Structure formats: structure tokens, C-alpha cells
Amino acid sequence: MSSKRKIFYAACAAAVAAVGVAACLALFVPRACGGGEEHSPFPLPQLPPLTNEMFAFPEFEKGDSLVRNFLKRWKLNGASLAIAKDGRLLYAKGFGYADVEQQTEVTPGHVFRIASGSKLITAAAVMKLAEEGKLSLSDRVFGSDGILNDSVFGRIYDARVLQITVKNLLEHSAGWDVSNGDDPMFMGCAIAEKLHIPVPVGVDDIIRFALSKPLSFDVGDHSSYSNLGYAILGRVVEKAAGGACEDYVQQALLLPMGIINMRLGNSYPQHLYADEVSYYDAPNAPPVAAFDNLHSLVPKCRGGYDIRMLGAAGGWVASPAALLRFVLCIDGRPEMPDILSLESVDRMVCNDSIYDPLGWRTVDERRWMRTGTLAGTSVAAVRDTSGWCWVFITNTSSKKGADFPFIVEGMMSEVLGTMESALTGNADSALEH
């Protein structure tokens, strides 16, 4: 059996293991994008997880070496990478340690916090609700005629808040600016003191606090990245869907995609999922107050964040293969059916140039990119115009912070070069026989 043919069979086996036979067919059989198509309403059976051995082929050794050297250079304890080409899963592999103390190695099935990668999930949920006629992007969010017209949000300091629409939240143009470092999503202690309530504070508490302050700029004037805006969108999803945001995402998006290992995460090590990695701060990072106990100092990645409260803005966990599958189902390409209509996909990436894209971090003529960073994790997800799609996640903080995913992108250009070389020549004929 030729090496190219082995690669194809490995990809097939990996896809079957990850998402089941029916989803595997959707992964490898070209189909038109189908926002109007009916998707399976049932979760596919959980099959054995992906393993590193499925992708232990000579053609991948150069790419493996590049990733290992990258981890060593940046002092990353563990990472995981999944790659697809033209809708086909070609590669899924873990590197380093999921748990350093236990010497547990990373496998492709391990899940990681995806931080602001969660915003892509939330944006897709909003677009799906719009397709279902349960909301409109032009709907007002606050006030008596707004989606969140609950009395708890009734005390509004700045009247401009009443102009905020769902689209403003999606594109970060609602008027909140955290360039001075005061992000209310990470000010739990100060907010609890201001509102005279105990920690931990909830999303509604943070929204109430934000509504008691003036906006930084006029609604719709420009985009300024806002975690708060996506936390509010989580509440919008719940109100429109009539249930928990996580439940709607799983029922309307993930299960039809055949994804069963994406869910909201937790804060403390003892509450991590069985298939979840441990998280590591940068060396010498100072401890911080625990999100739910001001008198307890903890590593920021092990109790400093209220992960479930971050929720729609940054609280999801996923394996790279699962997040890759999610991206492939909202990428507008013909190889796989999309969970959203082409109109919705286009609207997410073809926003007015003065505003950010919806859910995505960066969109240009070369690629669509979603990044995410918290202490203890960094994620980069890219869909490019040449048919490559990849997701890289690590469980260790980098001193480069939010810039680190773009450094990962540089490494990935080399990795994809080795993949391209492995699949050139007689690759097409090998895959057909």
C-alpha cells in the first residue's frame, strides 16, 4: 500500500473515530453547502478517540519536528493540532504533556479551553437563531422594546445604550472600550464591592455594573474589542432560544455536526473534565485572588477566572479536531454542508470595513482567523482560501499573550508546507485507488 494511500485511510479512520460513520461520509463526500438542508437531529455514537498513532507516518515527520521544536522554543508543556485540506481531516496529533505532574501525554482527543474562540460559537448561534426567525441582527438589546427588557437591566446610566443592536454586539461596536485595561469581565472583585454583593459575581451583575457607567463612544461609531458584548450575546441567545445558551449551541449546532466533546469548562483543577488537559501559567507568574474567594491566592489559570461565567465570551472547551469540524461547518466551502446558510456565512465575514467581522477575529483575502488567549491557554483557528483549515491549542501561557496565536500562524505556514509536499506528485491518483 502506498504512503499516500495510507494517509487517506488514516484520515478516514480518524474521522470515523472522531465523529462516527454518518459524519465521516459528510466529511469526505463533496456536498453543496446547505443552510436549508436537514441535518441529523440525533448525536452520533461516541466511538474510540483519535490517537497519535493514527498519524504516525513518515510524510508527517517533518511537520511533527517543527511542532516539537516550537513547543521547546516557547516552553509549552503541551499542545494539540488538527489539520484539514478541502474538507478532509488529514492530521490530528497531540504533543507534550496534558498533565506534567502525572506525565500524561497529549492525545488528539484531549480538550482545551478555547478562550475567545468561544465567540465564534456564540456568533454562529446568533446567526442560527436569526435564520430560525427568533431574532434579527437589527433588534435592540436593551430597553422596553429590547430583547433583554428584564427589570434587572432597567437602570441605564447612558441613554445611548438603548441604541445597541445585536449586530453592534457581534461586531464590537456597542460603545464599550477596554483599551485602558478595565475589562468588566475580569473585574469581579471590584464589581462585587461596588454592587455590595458577594463573590463570585454573575454575568447579570457585570452587565448591571456596565449599564451604570457611561459608554466610551457612540454606538456604531467603530469597533473596539469587547468581551462584555459577547457575554451579553450569551444572554440574548438564552432569551431568544428559551433556554441555556450552552444547551441551544449543543442542540442546534454541535449535535447536527456530530460534535460531542465541546462544552462549557470549569475553573478549578478538581473540576476539569476527564478528557481535559491541565493548565500552566508562565514561569514566575504571580498568584491572584480566586474568583470566588478573595482571601485565597491561586495560579490565574487554576481558579483566577470564572470560566463558566465567561461562557459565551470565553468559556468553552474543545479538542482541536472538534473545533476544526465546527469551522468546516461554517466556512462556506462546498466540500462540507454548512450548518448556516451561505448568506449567514457571508454576513459573518463580509462586514463593513470599519467594523470587525462577526465572531471571527481577522478576515482578509488570504484567510479567516479566530484567536483566543487566557492564562494557561492559547488557540488559533484558521480557514484559508487555498483549502487548508487548521486548529492549534496549547495548555501553557506565553509571554507574548494575545499576540501568540499569530506567532503560531508563522510556524503553521512551515508545517503546511511539509503537508503540501507530502500530498503532491501522485497524491491524487493514490487517493483514488
Enumerate the H helices of 338-424 as residue ranges.
342-349, 404-423
Predicted confidence (pLDDT) per residue in 79-93, tens digit? 999 999 998 899 999
Co-location of 389 and 339 in the same domain: yes
CATH number at residue 421: 3.40.710
The answer, yes or no, to whether residue 149 has pLDDT greater than 80, is yes
Long-range contacts of 246-251 (CB under 8 A, 24+ apart): 246/311, 248/125, 248/129, 249/121, 249/122, 249/125
Co-location of 24 and 47 in the same domain: yes
Q: Domain containing 237: what range?
A: 125-245
Co-location of 60 and 209 in the same domain: no
Taking the CA atoms of the chain, what radius of gyration do you get in angstroms? 21
The answer, yes or no, to whether residue 419 has pLDDT greater than 80, is yes
Closest CA to 335 of 69, 31, 64, 45: 31
* Domain end residue (candidates: 187, 216, 245): 245
Residue 250 lies in a domain: no
CATH number at residue 178: 3.40.710.10
Co-location of 140 and 104 in the same domain: no
Co-location of 226 and 270 in the same domain: no
Assess contact for 298 and 287: CB atoms under 8 A: yes
Residue 101 lies in a domain: yes
Measured between alpha carbons, how far is 392 from 415 in angstroms, rounded to an integer? 12
Residue 252 lies in a domain: no
* Domain end residue (candidates: 189, 218, 245): 245
The mean predicted confidence, pLDDT, of the chain is: 89
Co-location of 292 and 423 in the same domain: yes
Predicted confidence (pLDDT) per residue in 336-387, tens digit? 888 999 999 999 999 888 999 999 999 999 999 999 999 999 999 999 999 9
Confidence of residue 31 (pLDDT cuts 50, 70, 90): very low
Predicted confidence (pLDDT) per residue in 256-275, tens digit? 998 999 999 999 999 999 99
Assess contact for 81 and 320: CB atoms under 8 A: yes
Confidence of residue 59 (pLDDT cuts 50, 70, 90): confident
Split into its structural domains, the chain has a count of 2
For the entire predicted model, the pTM comes to 0.90
Residue 275 lies in a domain: yes
- Phi first, then psi, for residue 289 (nearest 5°) are -65, 140
Residue 251 lies in a domain: no
What are the strands of the beta sheet with 263-264, ordered from one edge?
112-113, 316-318, 263-264
Co-location of 187 and 240 in the same domain: yes
Co-location of 343 and 280 in the same domain: yes
Co-location of 288 and 351 in the same domain: yes
C-alpha cell at 287: 498568584
Residue 387 lies in a domain: yes
- Ranking 29-38, 158-167, 237-246, 367-376 by mean pLDDT, the lowest is 29-38
In which region does residue 172 sit, left (phi positive, over 0), alpha (psi from -120 to 50) or beta (all else)?
A: left
Co-location of 96 and 132 in the same domain: no
Co-location of 232 and 90 in the same domain: no
Co-location of 203 and 270 in the same domain: no
Measured between alpha carbons, how far is 80 from 113 in angstroms, rounded to an integer? 12
